[in-house]
Amino acid sequence: MSEVTITKDNFKAEVLDSDIPVLVDFWATWCGPCRMLGPIIDEIAAEKAGVLKVGKVNTDEQQELAAYFRINAIPTVILFKGGQPVDHFMGFMRKAQVEDFLAKYL
């Protein structure tokens, strides 16, 4: 399963009501570290399909969501479990670091 594009319109259904944990990547097209992290997030989405849902929020297009979660630096990645944010990280991380971040929750 590839990542899901998250908008304010589908956020509740895709993230808050999800039966499995959801990793939400807040990013923008002009952000260099976001473009570096993107392929890693894509790989994790494919590898963890069925165990983890991965969503992407374009902060330029979804400014209301970004403001609600007080995103002031990108990339910011938030892990939701049971509809609640349980952890996050900001900035670029290598794949092994992202996997270590997720290991506590999956």
- The catalytic residues are 31, 34
Residue corresponding to tokens 């989405």: 45
Question: What one-letter code names the amino acid at 6?
Answer: I
Distance set, CA 49 to CA 20, 30, 39, 42 (Å): 10, 28, 15, 11
Question: What one-letter code names the amino acid at 95?
Answer: K
Chain center to CA of 76 = 8
Distance set, CA 81 to CA 39, 50, 53 (Å): 23, 14, 10
